[in-house]
Each structure stands twice: as C-alpha cells, then as structure tokens.
Chain A
Amino acid sequence: MEEKYLTVTALTRYLKYKFDSDSNLRKVYLRGEISNFKSHTTGHFYFSLKDETSKINAIMFKTNTSKLNFTPTEGMKVLVTGSISVYEATGNYQIYVEDMLEDGVGNLYIAFEQLKKKLEQEGLFDLKHKKPIPKIPEKVGIVTASTGAAIRDILSTIHRRFPLCKTYLFPCLVQGENAAKDIVKKIKQANEYPLDVLIVGRGGGSFEDLNCFNDEEVARTIFASTIPVISAVGHEVDYTIADFVADLRAPTPTGAAELAVPNLVDLKHQLTQYHIRLNESIIKKVKIQKLYLESFKSSFAIKNPMLLFENKRQKLDVLYEQLIRSIQSYVERKKNALYQLQTHYILSNPKQLYEPSKQMLKNIIEKLELLNPLSVLKRGYSLTYHNDTLLHHIASLKKGDQIMVKLYDGDIYANIERIEKQNGKNKKI
C-alpha cells in the first residue's frame, strides 16, 4: 500500500531526469525581460525572465557572467542561451544561462560597428577632411532638442564665456524613430545660415537613445556640412558615428560650447597683450633707429665729408689715368703696326736695295783717286828717276848723271850740273 507513494526527492529526481533527457531543453534560445535581478557576491546572477504572460527563473554562473560586456539591469530585454533543468531543493525548473545579449542593442551594436568600418574605409573620418574650428565665432548654430540639459548647458556656457556670440537653435528630435531624419533636416537647414560653427548633439542616454547619431545619413550630412561641426553626444564615454565624422568631438554639450567659443576674459587679456607687444616693438624699433642714426652721425665719413669727395676724386684720377693709358697703348699699337708696314715697304723698295752699294762704290772711287800718284803731279809735283829708279835721296847721284823728271803732262830728260845738300839747292839741272 505504502509502496505506491513516492518520496518528493524521487519525484523531483524523475522530473529532473525527464528535463535533462529532453534534447529540446538542452539548448534553448530564449527572449525575455529581466526582472528580480540579483547579482550575488559569488559572481552568480539570479533573475527571472518574463514576457507579457509568463515567467521563468534563471541563473547564470560566474564562469559565464564574467564573459559579459554589459551589466544586466532590471527591465532589460535580453536574448539568452542556456539549458533547462530542475533545481531539486526548490523543485523549480529554471534556465541555466550560458550566454546573454542585449535584445536589439546587440544588433544595434553590430550595425554600429559595420557602419563605422564602412565610413572609415570611405575616408569620412580622415583628418584631412576636418575643417578648422574658428577661434572667435560670432554666430553659433545648435542642432539639438529645444528642451533638456543639452541646450541649457550649451547656451549657458556660451553666454558665460562669450556673450557677444549670437546663438541659433535648430530644434530637433534627438531620440526615437524619426530623430535621425530630423537631425539631417536641421543640419541642412543650418547650412543655409551664415554660421561660423555648428554644434550637433544631445544629452546622455542609453545606447539606443543615442542611436540616431549612429545613422548613416546623419553621418553623411555632418560630413557634407560646409559649416564646421562640433559633435556633442551624451557623456564622455559615449562614442557615436557622428563623433567620428564631426570636425571636432566634444565629450559633452558643455564641452562643445567651450570648444566653440573663446572666453571673453581671455580674449580681452590677449588683446591687451597685443597692445603691449605692439607698443614695445615700435619703441624698440625707434630706439634702434636712433642708435643707428647716432652711429651714422659719428661715423668717420660724416665727420670728414671731404673724405667722401677725396675718395671719389681719387677714383676719378685713377680712371683718368687708365683712360689715357689705354688710349696711348692703342695709339702705340697702331703706330707699331704702321711702322712695321713701312719697314716692310721700304725694305722691299729696289732703290733701297742698291743705294748702299752705289754709295760704297763712290767712296771706293774717291779713295782710289786720292791714292793715284799722278793726281799729285797735277798740283805741280814731279817724280825724278835715275836708271828707271825713283829717286828718294841725292846721295847716289853725281854730276853728269842723266835723270828723267816726270811731270803731269810729260817727261824731261836732263843731266845733273850740280848737287847741293839741304839748306841750299839740292840739285840743278
């Protein structure tokens, strides 16, 4: 009788066996919303997954929870993978979660990564496309929601830092299905205004909330904007596609305002510095010029003006001499050339060739004439011969010798009558 009755343990074990042996329950893909979430100090997660009508307990052990890249929170929609079994102590069946993804967001994240990669490859994030942000804008456009912290922070920051700046809000939706289209429209509208810089953004929110700034068209519109764009989406840690494509990323809306406008106090200080530097530089310049002038005044040349003149004059003299020399040498060269021509001409003149010979011949003739003894006879001298010998002395002669006296025009034959030595008559014929 009693044998019919099972123990609780036995039943539970049986049920557990049934669950465990069902291959359909060994790997279950389940979608649901987290509730009663508890993160135990051991690192295990205890929670329930529910939808509109049903609920299942769930447990995720530390070995699996440590692999998650997000922290599950109450109400979060998730996709889990796991197996179903029975926890014998409570008799509850539950899902032993091995892996968990954020429902929707997971897909959004994949889409984000894909779009980021695509636009990056297209070069939309390249630094060369980044437009410089003007230092001192006077008209700032803002594309964000007309309510909320973002616009408040931006405007108060701009007014505090640089009250001279005009601000133009282009109000737009910043979350939800139509937000991306609205953002695109407002950026385009802003581009028709003569703005110096455009802030595009919103305050913090969940990944889904910010997702309109991960829209491809928003990214391309920001890229095409002729006005430099500063992105300001969410908090410091949030990065959206808009941030990558913007000319400058600000960590927060307040940060964007700080990057967009200068601080008036700094600007005034800068201007004062410029004023000072300007005055100092001109004073310095005048001083230097004065010194220069002084040095010039005391220079040797100014003190001895004649020296300048002397130098010039000396130079003139040198030039004059050079001129004369060059003319002289020119004339000399021409003269030489002429002389050479003349010489050549003279030497080749035949008269010139025989003239010396003629002169020489004349000289020889004259000499010969002088030497002709007969010519002496013309002047009245005579020659006396004895026995055909020309007489030089009287010593060999004696009275009665016949002598012959030769005169210019004939010979005389005579006999010696008397001989007288010098101081008397030498002889008488």
Chain B
Amino acid sequence: MEKTKKFEENIKELEQIINELETGEIDLDESINKYTTAMKLVKECDEKLKTVEEQVSKMVLENGEEEPFEVIDN
C-alpha cells in the first residue's frame, strides 16, 4: 500500500519538480538539489515499472480469506 501511494505521489512530485525547474526561477544550488531528488524519483519509478512480474488476482471470501483467482472460461 505504502509503495502504491508512493508511486503516484512520486510521479506527482516529479511533475512538480520538473515544472519548477523549467521555469528557471530557482537558483542553481536549489536546482541541483531538486534535480538530484527528481533523478532519484525517476530511478525509483523506473525500477518499479520494470518489475513485470504478473500479479495474481485474488478472490476475497466472505470470511476475509484470500485465495488465488482465475477466470474460468466456460
């Protein structure tokens, strides 16, 4: 869950930093700081997107138990 939220937040933060940097109104030191932060975010997101392991769907039973779920094609 944490990671999920983080991904979208990372993307948002990234967008924000890029927009700020593109205005060119931030001084050099801060620009470099922000750039470093943004590059970390890019890397994190990139790594996240590269983990192409297919997620198994789960079915949640009424008692709260979870079991793997696959669609049965009739």
Contact = CB atoms under 8 A, between A and B. Distances in A.
A196 B35 contact: no
B22 A277 contact: yes
Given A135-B8, A169-B58, A282 B31 contact: yes
Interface stretch (A9-17, A159-167, A232-240, A377-385): A159-167
A139 B59 contact: no
Interface string A127-163: 0000000111111000000110001100110010001
B18 A274 contact: yes
Contacts of A264: 49
A163 B54 CA distance: 5
Contacts of B8: 134-137
A314 interface: no
Contact of B42 (A159, A275, A282): A275
A288 interface: yes
**Residue of B18, B66, B69, B71 with most partner-chain A CB within 10 A:** B71
B65 to A, nearest CB: 12
Contact of A138 (B3, B42, B69): B3
Contacts of B42: 271, 274-275, 278
Interface residues of A, number: 44
Nearest to A190: B60
**Residue of A171, A270, A277 with most partner-chain B CB within 10 A:** A277
Contact of A278 (B1, B24, B38): B38
Interface string B11-54: 10011011001101010100110010011001001101101111
Given A139-B4, A274-B18, A278-B21, A152 B60 contact: no
B45 A271 contact: yes
Contacts, number: 110
A159 B69 CA distance: 13
Nearest to B7: A136
A46 interface: no
A175 B60 CA distance: 20
Contact of B49 (A171, A271, A288): A271
A285 B1 contact: no
Contacts of A163: 52-55
**Residue of B21, B53, B64, B66 with most partner-chain A CB within 10 A:** B21
Contacts of B15: 274
Contacts of A268: 49
Contacts of A288: 24
Given A134-B8, A169-B57, A196-B4, A281 B22 contact: yes
A329 interface: no
A65 to B, nearest CB: 38
B39 to A, nearest CB: 7
Nearest to B26: A285
A289 interface: yes
A187 B27 CA distance: 50
Contact of B7 (A138, A275, A277, A282): A138
Contacts of B4: 136-139, 196
A427 B54 CA distance: 171
B41 to A, nearest CB: 9
Nearest to B31: A285
A169 B59 contact: yes
B24 A164 contact: no
A285 B32 CA distance: 9
A189 interface: yes
B49 A267 contact: yes
Interface of B: 1, 3-5, 7-8, 11, 14-15, 17-18, 21-22, 24, 26, 28, 31-32, 35, 38-39, 42, 45-46, 48-49, 51-55, 57-60, 62, 64, 66, 69, 71-74
Interface of A: 134-139, 146-147, 151-152, 155-156, 159, 163-171, 185, 189-190, 193-194, 196, 264, 267-268, 270-271, 274-275, 277-278, 281-282, 284-286, 288-289
Given A193-B60, A278-B14, A285-B31, 16 more contacts: A138-B3, A139-B4, A163-B54, A165-B55, A166-B57, A168-B57, A169-B57, A169-B60, A170-B59, A196-B5, A274-B14, A274-B18, A274-B38, A277-B18, A278-B42, A289-B28
Closest 9 CB pairs of A and B: A138-B4, A281-B21, A194-B1, A167-B57, A136-B8, A282-B35, A152-B71, A169-B59, A166-B55
7 contacts: A137-B8, A138-B4, A152-B71, A165-B55, A166-B58, A170-B60, A189-B62
